[in-house]
């Protein structure tokens, strides 16, 4: 029987890409723990769900008893923790689910994990790792002239979402320091790719552009995000698990900073060049005329930027997928999913 890895939030956008990658490129048995919120994309695991090395448990990470039983039953060699509420706008509307899943949920997961870890033999302890997937947003708004945030930069979260992620990072750091849990924290920039819930910028704009609907852009659209293709991200996560040092954190950046407006323009320019049905062969100027500036998000950060030298030099990971290439794959996936999409 192969060794087991737990993935929390494995039915989400990034978690499902991670599970596909782990099944395709390793021999691990994968246990996916996900409560299946509105954001889950079970269709992204249609093939994986038939795999003999895949198990799924529909569970809230706050269900301490059930998670504790899973640790005892499967005896994993590692945990990738991705389960979280992840949309900033929703956190502004109602922060409670973010506090519950991102902070209290991480606390409960850490507690069952540390109890399990305490009972391991010395050699199993040495092999075990807990990888906590966090975000660039914990570092907060960076002025244009400021250098990109390196690991160890001070935390300045702006939204309820980023504050809840920052709090969960602190819990992970405390459990590592106090209880010796071999934890690693990763901070990534904005992900994009297939199977992302269409409330996030890129799938939202693509879906609307394909239906010739208005393309909403917050404020002046000059907010800068660094875009990371999801397959690059999950490769980084596996490499961090394999080669990262417990107690350390690693930034994972796509090295492709763009304003939101530039992202919208890229989508409008790319759609006409793709091999889509004749009915969808819109002109780029026709699509750009749909761009509509709407009232800005409260507390909207202008710029995030991560320095990813550490993961490049210490782990040997570099992003592979250029933005136009990843965007073309994403547009095609959104188009193919439009008939079935939620
Ligand atoms: P997502 O919203 O697509 O998926 C989250 C998954 O977690 C869903 O399947 C949901 O059902 C599950 N979940 C939520 N609360 C849960 C709970 N209490 N118990 C069990 N499962 C629960 O999110 P994503 O974009 O895949 O992000 C995954 C992780 O990466 C999150 O921790 C997020 O903060 C982080 N992250 C995402 C991005 C990005 O651009 N998407 C960037 C930086 C960091």
pLDDT digits (tens, 9 = 90+) for 16-72: 999 999 999 999 999 999 999 999 999 999 999 999 999 999 999 999 999 999 999
Measure the CA angle with vertex 186, ends 251 and 76; round to 5°: 150
CA–CA distances in Å: residue 128 to residues 24, 76, 121, 273, 298: 21, 8, 11, 47, 41
How far apart CA 86 and CA 98 sit, in angstroms, is 8
Q: Is 190 in the pocket of ligand 1 (CB under 6 A)?
A: yes
pLDDT surpasses 90 at 338: no
Q: What is the pLDDT of residues 201-224, one digit of tens each?
A: 999 999 999 999 999 999 999 999
Q: What per-residue confidence (pLDDT) applies to 337? A: 86
How far apart CA 338 and CA 186 sit, in angstroms, is 32
Mean pLDDT across 116-140: 98
Which atom of ligand 1 is nearest the CA belonging to 190? 40
Tell me, in angstroms, the distance from the centre of ligand 1 to residue 59's CA: 14
Three-state SS for 38? coil
Q: Which of 28, 116, 139, 161 is catalytic?
A: 161
Nearest to 38 by CA among 64, 20, 67, 13: 13
DSSP output for 140-151: ----TTSPPBPT
For ligand 1, atom 34, name the residue with the nearest CA: 86
Q: What per-residue confidence (pLDDT) applies to 341? A: 42
pTM: 0.98
Q: What percent of the chain has pLDDT over 90?
A: 96
Q: What is the pLDDT of residues 178-204, one digit of tens each?
A: 999 999 999 999 999 999 999 999 999
Q: What is the pLDDT of residues 275-318, one digit of tens each?
A: 989 888 899 999 999 999 999 999 999 999 999 999 999 999 99
H/E segment holding residue 285: helix 284-288
Q: Is 36 in the pocket of ligand 1 (CB under 6 A)?
A: yes
**149 DSSP β-pair partners:** 306
């Amino acid at each position: 029987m192969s060794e087991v890895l737990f993935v929390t939030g494995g039915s989400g956008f990034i978690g499902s890409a991670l599970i596909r990658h782990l099944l395709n490129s390793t021999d691990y048995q994968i246990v996916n723990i996900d409560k299946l919120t509105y954001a889950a994309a079970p269709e992204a695991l249609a093939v994986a769900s038939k795999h003999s090395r895949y198990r799924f448990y529909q569970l809230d990470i706050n269900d301490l008893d059930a998670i504790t039983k899973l640790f005892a039953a499967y005896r994993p060699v590692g945990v990738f923790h991705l389960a979280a509420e992840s949309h900033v706008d929703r956190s502004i509307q109602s922060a409670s689910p973010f506090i519950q899943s991102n902070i209290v949920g991480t606390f409960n997961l850490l507690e069952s994990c540390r109890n399990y870890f305490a009972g391991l033999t010395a050699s199993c302890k040495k092999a075990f790792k807990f990888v906590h997937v966090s975000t660039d947003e914990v570092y907060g708004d960076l002025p244009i002239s400021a250098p990109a945030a390196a690991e160890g930069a001070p935390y300045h979260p702006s939204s309820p979402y980023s504050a809840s992620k920052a709090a969960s990072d602190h819990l992970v750091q405390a459990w590592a320091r106090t209880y010796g849990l071999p934890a690693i924290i990763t901070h990534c920039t904005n992900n994009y790719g297939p199977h992302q819930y269409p409330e996030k910028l890129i799938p939202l704009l693509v879906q609307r552009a394909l239906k010739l609907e208005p393309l909403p852009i917050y404020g002046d659209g000059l907010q800068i995000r660094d875009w990371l293709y999801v397959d690059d991200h999950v490769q980084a996560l596996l490499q961090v698990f394999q080669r990262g040092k417990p107690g350390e954190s690693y930034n994972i950046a796509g090295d492709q900073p763009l304003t939101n407006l530039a992202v919208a323009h890229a989508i409008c320019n790319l759609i006409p060049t793709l091999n889509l049905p004749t009915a969808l062969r819109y002109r780029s100027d026709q699509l750009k005329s749909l761009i509509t500036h709407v009232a800005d998000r409260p507390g909207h950060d202008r710029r995030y930027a991560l320095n990813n030298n550490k993961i490049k030099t210490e782990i040997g990971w570099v992003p592979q997928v250029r933005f136009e290439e990843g965007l073309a794959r994403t547009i095609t996936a959104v188009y193919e999913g439009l008939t079935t999409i939620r």
